[in-house]
Each structure stands twice: as C-alpha cells, then as structure tokens.
Amino acid sequence: MKNELIIYHGSEHIIEKPQYGIGKPTNDYGLGFYCTEYLDLAKEWACESTHGGYANKYLLNTTGLKILDLNSSKFCIVHWISVLLKNRVFTIDSEIANEAMKYITENFTVNTEGYDVIKGYRADDSYFTYAKDFLQNTISVRRLKQVMKLGNLGNQIVLVSKESFSHLTYLGYEEAPQAINFPLRKKRDELARLAYLSNKTDGFKADDILMIDIIRGGMKADDKRLQ
C-alpha cells in the first residue's frame, strides 16, 4: 500500500470525525470503520431501499500503521474464511459445514490482534453465501477464489485500532441519491449472482479441492495447493 490512500465510507450520515469503538462487532473483520478505495462502491453501500446517503471521503496516512492484507501471498482464501468465522454469524445446519468450521478454526485462524488496518474481500450479500457454499462442500477453492472477484467489489479497508483513526483526514463528501445508487447496488449483486451461476457450469476439474479434501488430506495453512 502507498503511504497515503484516498478512501471512502458509505453512510446515511456525513461523518467528519469517525469515532473509534462505534459499529457492529459482527461485521466481516469485527468492530471497525469500513471503507473502500472506490467512490462508486461507497455510494452504493450508503444506500438502502428506503433512503440515500453520503460517500464520506478521507485521506489515510499509513505511515507507521501495521496493516494486515488478507489478499497478500502469505494467505489463501481459507484464511479469509477463518476471519469471517471469527466475526460473522453463520447459520448452517449440516455435518460437513460444522466440521469445516471446526477444522478451519483449528488450522487456518489468522491472528488479527495488534493490527491497525485490515484489508481484504468484502463478504457483501451474495458473497457471504459463497463462503457458506464452500463450507458446505458445494464449491471448490478454485471457484471460491473466482467468485470473490465477481461483481467488482474490490477490497475493503478497515480501520480497527484507535491509532489508525488519528491517521485520517476528512476531505468532504459526495451525495449518494437512493434513486440512482440503490438500483446500482442491486444490479451489482444480481450480476455477481448470475456470473456465479454461469461459473458453476464450468464443471468440476480433476484437481479441484473441496473442503472435504482439505479435511481428509490434513491440509494446513502453508499448503501450496491452496494458493
């Protein structure tokens, strides 16, 4: 990452001074201030079916901050799943999924403590469903990595430490009218779902790795086949 980043936070409110400790602890990466480098995405995230919002703009100076990039070569997609398991609520009632969650927690857990910023995929709407599909052994590692790139969601940048908030400079905002941006949000998700269904017709390849293969093979976090 560069020493300075322009980032955006979509909200129904104008937020000139984000406050540490405010938010939902059950978001993807726990309690934090969730941002994106993409203005269009921030506008979409700001809008619900009943109201519009604002894309708040900030300069983030990353000098001296400890950043965890879950998309770096140090990690695989299963590491990302482990972070979701730590924070999100999964309601899955199947034997394989329960075993999968236990195995991932025991072998792929990422220690997020001590970091100021976390960067990685956003489990938005249907994307959370894809993660659940993987746990239920219905899509492979290869296809999970493919579908996480569908819909052009990009990465989210999450400020998780008190120190990181002191590195933010507010630059203003842009309005996100509901009539324009909520349909775009729905369309992005629908296109991702359609692409996911189309991707399913790609078929199963001989070297594809399913969750059950990871368990049976005793694969660990450093297994090159998961990269």
Q: What is the pTM of this model?
A: 0.89
Query: What's the pLDDT at 86?
Result: 92
Q: How many domains does the chain have?
A: 1
> In terms of residue numbers, what domain contains 96?
4-217
Torsion sign across C-alpha atoms 226, 149, 191, 29: positive
Q: Per the domain annotation, does 30 fall within a domain?
A: yes
Q: Per the domain annotation, does 223 fall within a domain?
A: no
Cα(32)–Cα(187) distance, integer angstroms: 27
- How confident is residue 202, by pLDDT bands cut at 50, 70 and 90? low
Reduce the DSSP state of residue 140 to 3 states and report it: coil
Q: Per the domain annotation, does 76 fall within a domain?
A: yes
Task: Evaluate if residue 1 carries a pLDDT over 60.
Answer: no
Query: What's the pLDDT at 131?
Result: 85
Task: Evaluate if residue 203 carries a pLDDT over 70.
Answer: no
For the segment 201-223, the average pLDDT, to the nearest whole number, is: 88
Query: What's the pLDDT at 62?
Result: 96
Q: Per the domain annotation, does 70 fall within a domain?
A: yes
Q: Per the domain annotation, does 170 fall within a domain?
A: yes
Q: Per the domain annotation, does 226 fall within a domain?
A: no
Q: Which residue shows structure tokens 């708040």? A: 56
Reduce the DSSP state of residue 99 to 3 states and report it: helix
Q: Per the domain annotation, does 225 fall within a domain?
A: no
Q: Per the domain annotation, does 224 fall within a domain?
A: no
